[in-house]
Structure 1
C-alpha cells in the first residue's frame, strides 16, 4: 500500500519513517527539496519534485496525507491539490485544524467527489518510537481504505486510534484533547511551584515527581517528562517564563461558551498562558496603582 505525504516537518518526517518501517510505501513532497532527498536516502521513500509529480506516482484511489501547519498553509495546499485529484481519491488533513474549517473543507471536496478525513494526531516527538494517537473523522468507506495505514501509525493495530464520526469529529476530539492537556499542564506547574515555595522543607522536586510516577493517581506521560527534566535541573533559570498557545486551547474555550458547557479549568489554563506572554503586565500595573490610590500601598519601580 502507498500514500502521498505532503510536509516533512519533524512530525511528518517521523511519520514517514514509521510508515516505511511498517512496510507502507510513501511518495513525499516538501517545499525544501533537500529535506525530501535526505529522507528518501534514509528510508527509501520516493521523493516527488512537485505536487503534480506526487499525484502522478500514486495509484487510484489515491491517498494524500497533509502534515502542514493549520490554517492558511493547509488551505493553500488543498486548493492546489484538489484540481489534480480524481473522484474517489482521499485527502487526509493531519494538521491541528479548527474542526469547523474541516467540516467546510469536507463539504467542498465532497462536491468534487473527493473524500476528506480530518486526523487529529497526538504523540509529538515520541510518536516514531511509541506510535501516534489518532482521532479521525470522515466517511466510513474512506476510513476503511485508510485503516491499514492507520494501524501502522498507531501504538498498536487495535489501540490508540478511533474513527470518531463524520467529517470534523476527529479534529473536534483533538481540540478537546488539547484543552484537557492545557489544564493538566497548569495543574502540574502550580503544584510544583507550591512545593518549591516551601523552602524550609528543601524538597527534591525531581524525587517527588519520580515517586508520583509509580502508583499515584496523578501519574501520566506529562509527569514522566516532568520527572525527567527536574532530575537534571530544578531551578530552570535558563528557561524564559513564556508559554505559547497553539490555538486549540482558544477554540476549546470558545466551544464551551457556544455550547453553554462550563469549562473553567481549561479556560483558566488558557488565560494563564496569556499571562505568561506578558499580556497582563498593564493590568498588573493598574492594580498596583489602585492599591496605592485607595490604601497608600507602596508600588515597586520597574527594573531594567
Structure 2
C-alpha cells in the first residue's frame, strides 16, 4: 500500500521505516529533515496515487492544525488524513467536520511505542468511520506488534490495535493511556526513592531488576527504569524536573467533567508540577503555618545548616 508520511522525527521516521520493511511504499515529507522524499506537501500529494492516505506525525496543537488545513486544500474527495500525534480529541472532531465537508476522510490514531516501536511495533488506538479505517487497515497491520499467543499457542486477537469508536475516540483512548502512564511512573519513582533512602537496602538497582520477572508489578516501564539505573545507578546525571505532555491534564479535566475519581493520576500530574519548583511556595506556607501554630523551627533561605530536630505537634 502507498502512504504519505508528514513528519519524519523520532516517531514518524521510525514508523516510515517499519512500513517500508513491511513492503509498503512510503513517501515522506518533513521540512526539517534531510530524509524527506519530496520538498513540499503539494509535491507529496502529487506523488501519491488516488485514493490517497496521508499520515500526519507532527507536534500537536497548531502545527497539526495547520498541516491538516493545508492537506484539506490539496487532497481530493475519497482521500484520508490520519493524525497520529498527541492531539486533543476535541481537535479531531473539528478536523473530521472540516474535512468531511470536502469529501475527505479523517482518522485519529493514538500511537504508543516510542523509539522502540521500529523493532517492537506500535500499539494503535484509532477513531473514525469503519470505511476510512478499512482503507488504512494494511498500514495499521504493519505498524502494530506481532500478535501475542495464548497458552495454547493461538494468536490473541485485538492485542496492539483497536478501532475505539468515531473520530476523537482514538486520541481519547491514548489520553487515558498516558494518564495511567503518569501514575505508574510516579509509583515506580516513589518506590525507588524509598529504597534509596534507607541504609538497609545495599543494592537498589538489583532490587528493581528483581521485580521484572514473576511479580505483579513487572512492566515495560519497569524494564526501562532498570535500563536507566544500569546507566546511572544513583540517577546523578538527571535533574528531577519532569514535564507533562498535556495528556495528563486532559485526562484529569475529563475525570472532573464526568465525575470519575482519579486520585492516583491527579496526584502524579501535580507531582510533576511540584518537580519544577526549586523552592515550593506551598511548602513555604506549610513551614510558616507549622511555626505559627506549634512554634516549630523554620529554615531561613540563607541558612547553611538544617534546623534542629523538633518534637512532633
TM range (shorter): over 0.9
- Is the 2:195–2:201 Cα contact (8 Å) retained in structure 1? no
Of 84, 91, 101, which aligns to 1:111? 101
Query: Residue 33 of structure 1: CA displacement?
Result: 4.9
TM-superposed deviation, 1:203: 3.1
TM-score, with length taken from structure 1: 0.93
- Tell me the residue number matched to 1:40: none
Residues in 1 aligned to 2:79 and 2:73: alpha-carbon distance in whole angstroms: 11
Which residue in 2 is equivalent to 1:302? 301
Residue 202 of structure 1, CA deviation: 3.0
1:33–1:49 Cα contact (<8 Å) kept? no
Aligned residues of 1:65 and 1:93 also touching (Cα < 8 A): yes
Shift of 1:198: 1.5
1:91 is aligned to 2:81:
yes
1:29 to 1:232, Cα distance in 2 relative to 1, 3 A: closer
Matched residue, 1:30 = 30
Which of 122, 125, 128 lines up with 2:112 in the alignment?
Answer: 122
State the secondary structure of the residue aligned to 2:301: coil
Structure 2 match to 1:228? 227
C-alpha displacement of 1:280: 7.2
* Aligned positions, number: 293
| Over 3 Å off, 4+ runs | none
Which whole-Å CA distance do the structure 1 matches of 2:183 and 2:33 have between them?
39
Distance (whole Å) between structure 2 residues aligned to residue 8 and residue 141 of structure 1: 27
What residue is the counterpart of 1:55 in the other structure?
45
Query: Given the superposition, is the C-alpha separation of residues 74 and 280 from structure 1 closer, same or farther in structure 2, using an over 3 Å criterion?
Result: farther
Report how far residue 113 of structure 1 moved: 1.1
Q: Does 1:188 align with 2:188?
A: yes
Are 1:268 and 2:267 counterparts? yes
- What secondary structure sits across from 1:34 in the alignment? coil
Gaps of 5+ in 1: 37-46
Q: CA deviation at 1:279?
A: 8.2
More helix, by proportion:
1
1-structure distance, mates of 2:35, 2:140: 24
Q: Distance in 2 between matches of 1:33 and 1:193?
A: 40
Shift of 1:257: 0.3
d(CA) in 2 for partners of 1:206, 1:169 = 39
Pick one of 91, 100, 122 that aligns with 1:101. 91
Report what 2:152 is aligned to. Answer: none
RMSD over aligned CA atoms reads 1.5
- In the alignment, is the contact (CA less than 8 A) between 1:206 and 1:228 conserved in 2? no
Is the counterpart of residue 198 in structure 1 residue 229 in structure 2? Answer: no
Cα drift, residue 231 of structure 1: 2.8
CA distance, structure 2, for counterparts of residue 56 and residue 103 of structure 1 = 27
Q: TM-score, normalised by structure 2?
A: 0.90
For residues 269 and 232 of structure 1, the distance between their equivalents in structure 2, rounded to whole angstroms, comes to 25
- Displacement of 1:208: 1.1
What's 1:42 paired with?
none
Q: Secondary structure at the match of 1:15?
A: helix
Mapped contact 2:2–2:26 kept (Cα < 8 A): yes
SS at match of 1:239: coil
Counterpart in the other structure of 2:311: none
Q: Quick check: 2:125–2:163 contact (8 Å CA) kept in 1?
A: yes
- Using the TM superposition, give the Cα deviation of residue 210 of structure 1 relative to its aligned residue in structure 2, in angstroms: 1.5
Q: What is residue 172 of structure 1 aligned with on the other side?
A: 172
Give the superposition deviation at 1:68.
0.5
Tell me the secondary structure at the aligned position of residue 108 of structure 2.
strand
Quote the Cα distance in structure 2 between the aligned partners of 1:49 and 1:186. 42
- Segments of 5+ residues of structure 2 without an aligned counterpart are 148-156, 305-313
Moved more, 264-273 or 223-232: 223-232
